[in-house]
Structure 1
Amino acid sequence: MSIDAASSQTLPDIIVSAVAIIRDRRVLMVTARGRDVVFMPGGKVDAGETLLEAAQRESREEISVGLISDTVRELFTVVTQAHGEPEGRMVRMTLFAGIPDAEPQPAAEVSALHWISSAELHRCPPAGAEVVRRLAASGLID
């Protein structure tokens, strides 16, 4: 196959749902075991799952909370280069905000929780950085 043919093939977007829990003008992010960057709590959408169902499931799996149903709202979707993936592989992350039904705690592959402001943008992979920029621009976080 020629280089031109290879470059014209595009990898499918990685479809992800994430949750934004905001407290004291900071957003909750997590670190996974053995990783040094911070991520939004969330993950890939399973077959047959809605974006919201995936966000709720991932929230329970990673930070041991669900979002109280009548407080949940879809904020926005970011599309950017996927962290740790080949150039051109995009992540399409839909972000939901809501009030947690318990105090967030690390679970599964999550080793720690971090309350992030835009001053810590350098700790975020591309999708997380875009989320932090948008939350700051909308006045939800510092």
Structure 2
Amino acid sequence: MMIIEKVAWLHLQEGKVLAARSRGHNRFYFPGGKREAGETDEQALLREIEEELTVRLRPATLRFLGSFEAPAHAQPAGTLLRMSCYAAEYEGTLQPAAEIEEMAWLTYRDRPRVSAMAQQLFDWLRQDGQLAD
């Protein structure tokens, strides 16, 4: 079994969660990405969010939320995605950049529009009372 490890930023506002969609893909996911050689989760997340959404996360506000596993979207069968999720405050104006074609604020009713990993996190956020129906 192949395992892909990523870090993600979960940012909620008024019962909606920020999601991104890459060019050429039809599903939304949580912003973030893979660590580069020698990077910590925190370093990778700061770099990825600035590249994808043009904002800077405030390192002092980073808070680990948990690690999750699900089948990887658009990968060969049997590929597992392991994602470490963080919350953080940011500075700047959110806007799609790099490979990101679109960003959106989603509620639980948007669950069919997101990847398997994001669906699992949508369920978790809803059960925790953070994601609106």
Q: Would you call these one fold, judging by a TM-score over 0.5? A: yes
Identity %: 30
Structure 1: 4+ residue segments shifted above 6 A: none
Q: Does 1:44 align with 2:34?
A: yes
Summarize deviations over 1:46-83 as a string: whole Å, max 9, x none.
11111111111110010111212232201111111111
The unaligned stretches of length 5 or more in structure 1 are: 1-9
What count of residue pairs does the alignment treat as equivalent?
132
Counterpart in 2 of 1:119?
A: 109
Structure 2 unaligned residues grouped into runs of 5+: none
TM-score (normalizing by structure 1): 0.88
Distance 2:104 2:82 in 1: 23
Distance in 2 (alpha carbons) for counterparts of 1:138 and 1:66: 27
The 5-angstrom pairing of residues 104-115 of structure 1 reads 104-115=94-105
Max Rg structure: 1
d(CA) in 2 for partners of 1:127, 1:73:
20
Provide the C-alpha distance between the structure 2 equivalents of 1:51 and 1:59, rounded to a whole number of angstroms. Answer: 12
Q: SS at 2:94's partner residue?
A: coil
The structure in which a higher percent of residues are strand is 2
1:135 is aligned to 125
57, 63, 67: which one pairs with 2:53?
63
Match of 1:3 in 2: none
Counterpart of 2:78 (choices 71, 81, 88) is 88
Q: CA RMSD of the aligned region, Å? A: 1.1
